Amino acid sequence: MYVDNFENILGDDLEESRLLGYAQSHNIEALLLYGLHIVHANHDLTNPTTNTILSDFIYKAKTSYGILAVGATAENGEFFTNVVDVYNNSRNESLEKFDIYNLEFEFWDNLSTGSGGYYCNTYLSPNGLPCSEEGAFQFYLSTLRTMETLASDTSHPITTEAYVGWPGESQSDSISLYVDRVRISAYVSNPNSAFNYSEDRLIAFANSSADLNISMIFSSEPEFMQQWLENNSMIAAENIFRENWLNGSSGWLNNINLQGFTYFTYSDLTDVPLELSSTSLNEKPRDFKIDPLITHQEVFIERSENIDALIIYDVNGQKVKQINPSIPSQHVRLDIENLFAGFYVLLIRTKAGYESHAFIKH
């Protein structure tokens, strides 16, 4: 999920809890943070004595709310080099670091790249590049190369990725050389049309790489899928796309990996109903599935590895129950009799990582 207005969320305990509680209750596994240039201006992210406001947030997200990865979104290589990567290297704890370097630079946007446009004035002309899509794409690729170099020169695993709207076939070929994943826009008002809307771009990337991860971006803005999501759910939208993907991609399905879905943006998602998220096409089924509607007083949990902890949070992200088995076990009974009726998220912690499941206690 893309997190907008992050500069006003960070450091506000209530707003941080709302964001992380929302992400946890909707089983969102990765946060992509906007506004880091503003955060940096306010807190100097390159200084380990002042960047703790960010490191504390990332640590809390990963250890208490089931977030598996946090991404830094930026639009130029200089910011990744001089701020994001310096921040990462200033923190000793992996749980405090960014895991994703995400490029957002809309080289296909003629208004931004043309004479007098934002990209033209800010990046292209100062670097001796023409104010055109060609010049913007050169800048885009240069940034991807910088990100790739930074990611390869670190002990902490970094996933490099880029947001793409409307690349051509040759541009898709070039992009796929430098990223681990691309996030492709599917900005439609109804998910039934999302696959057809993005099919040509999916095929272009499928033809460019034998092993490229793809995440589809659904926009929850009012002019796109907001109303549909509010009346249905994220999982319903995802299942529609997956079904269309399976039915329509037989000729190129094995060339790219549908790694899930991305939502743009947090501020437009607050009324989307709570529901269990589903696994991606290439993800192995989980060993444990919790009934999303619980009327009994006990849940039996079985995992393939020993369970280190079971933690339950309410919809506001407040911890209401925790069990740490005294003897390592793959089988644990969880008593929920004393929980009030309402929304909850169960976090299962094993050595393999964290897994979260939303449920409703009646």
Entry pTM? 0.77
Q: What pLDDT score was predicted for residue 239? A: 83
Q: What is the CATH number of the domain that holds 357?
A: 2.60.40.1220
Give the DSSP per-residue string, 48-63. TTTTHHHHHHHHHHHH
Residues 249 and 308 in one domain: no
Residues 259 and 306 in one domain: no
Identify the bridge partners of residue 160 per DSSP, sorted by sequence position. Answer: 101
pLDDT tens digits, 139-183: 999 999 999 999 998 889 999 999 999 999 999 999 999 999 999
Q: What pLDDT score was predicted for residue 205? A: 92
Q: What pLDDT score was predicted for residue 344? A: 75
Residues 113 and 241 in one domain: yes
Higher pLDDT, 305 or 253: 305
Q: What pLDDT score was predicted for residue 352? A: 65
Amino acid at 143: T
Higher pLDDT, 243 or 31: 31
The two structure tokens encoding residue 294:
């619980």
For residue 340, the enclosing domain spans 293-361
pLDDT tens digits, 22-37: 898 888 989 999 999 9
Identify the bridge partners of residue 312 per DSSP, sorted by sequence position. Answer: 321, 346
Higher pLDDT, 241 or 216: 216
**Cβ–Cβ contacts within 10 Å for residue 20, how many?**
23
Phi-psi region of 167 (alpha: psi -120 to 50; beta: other; left: phi over 0): beta
Residues 214 and 155 in one domain: yes
Residues 82 and 225 in one domain: yes
In a domain, 274, yes or no: no
Q: What is the CATH number of the domain that holds 232?
A: 3.20.20
Higher pLDDT, 39 or 155: 39
Q: What pLDDT score was predicted for residue 56? A: 97
Nearest C-alpha neighbor of 306 from the set 353, 350, 355 = 350
Q: What pLDDT score was predicted for residue 345? A: 74
Three-state DSSP class for 265? Answer: coil
In a domain, 287, yes or no: no
C-alpha of 264 from chain center: 10
φ/ψ (deg, to 5) at 239 = -65, -35
Q: What pLDDT score was predicted for residue 293? A: 45
Residues 192 and 261 in one domain: yes
The two structure tokens encoding residue 152:
């390869």
Residues 109 and 258 in one domain: yes
In a domain, 280, yes or no: no
Residues 243 and 300 in one domain: no
Higher pLDDT, 246 or 273: 246
In a domain, 312, yes or no: yes
Residues 247 and 339 in one domain: no
Phi-psi region of 168 (alpha: psi -120 to 50; beta: other; left: phi over 0): beta
pLDDT tens digits, 268-299: 997 776 553 333 333 333 344 454 445 457 77
Q: What pLDDT score was predicted for residue 280? A: 32
pLDDT tens digits, 69-119: 999 999 999 999 999 999 999 999 999 999 999 999 999 999 999 999 999
Q: What pLDDT score was predicted for residue 78? A: 98
Rounded mean pLDDT of 297-319? 75
Residues 213 and 248 in one domain: yes
In a domain, 324, yes or no: yes
What is the rounded CA–CA span in Å between residue 353 and residue 218? 27
Number of domains the chain is built from:
2
Residues 253 and 302 in one domain: no
In a domain, 141, yes or no: yes
Residues 101 and 172 in one domain: yes
In a domain, 277, yes or no: no
Q: What pLDDT score was predicted for residue 246? A: 76
In a domain, 111, yes or no: yes
Give the whole-number percent of the chain exceeding pLDDT 70: 88
**Helix, strand, coil in percent for the chain, rounding step 5:** 40, 25, 35
Give the DSSP per-residue string, 165-192. SS--HHHHHHHHTT-SEEEEE---SSGG
Higher pLDDT, 19 or 256: 19
Please work out, in degrees rounded to the nearest 5, the angle formed at the alpha carbon of residue 328 by the alpha carbons of 325 and 334: 35
| Domain end marker among 233, 268, 303 | 268
C-alpha of 117 from chain center: 29
Q: Hunting for tokens 């796109």 — which residue is that?
A: 224
| Domain end marker among 268, 301, 336 | 268
